[in-house]
Homo-oligomer: A and B are copies of this chain.
Amino acid sequence: MISTPEIISYLAATLTTTSFVPQAILTIKSRDTESLSLGMYSSFTLGVLCWLVYGIYLNDKAIIFANAITLLLSSSILFFKIYNMVSKKKA
């Protein structure tokens, strides 16, 4: 049976990851990253990568699950942010 701490960890994973989805969808759809902070997304993406590595070390499924998905979303946003900055410089 699934334990209470496990339920809490999956609830946590679902809530924090889900809260990130609308921004990711908006950015991927619109490709508009003007109002997003490069510093914030760089720091956040690197941090999420570290949490993922730590989750793998702990062998904690909820931490791995949450951070793998968040990393995917956050790095997509970061990719468009950097892509737009490079394109703008070239133009």
Q: A residues touching B (Cβ–Cβ < 8 Å)?
A: 5, 8-9, 11-20, 22-23, 37, 39-41, 43-44, 46-51, 53-54, 57-58, 60, 62
Please give, as numbers and ranges, the residues of chain B lying within 8 Å of A8 by CB-CB distance.
50, 53-54, 57
Considering the complex, give the chain B residue whose CB is closest to the CB of A18: B43
Given contacts A16-B47, A22-B39, 11 further A-B pairs with CB under 8 A are A5-B58, A8-B50, A8-B54, A12-B47, A12-B48, A12-B53, A15-B47, A19-B40, A19-B41, A19-B43, A19-B47
B19 touches A50 (CB 8 A): no
Please give, as numbers and ranges, the residues of chain B lying within 8 Å of A41 by CB-CB distance.
19
Oligomer copy total: 2
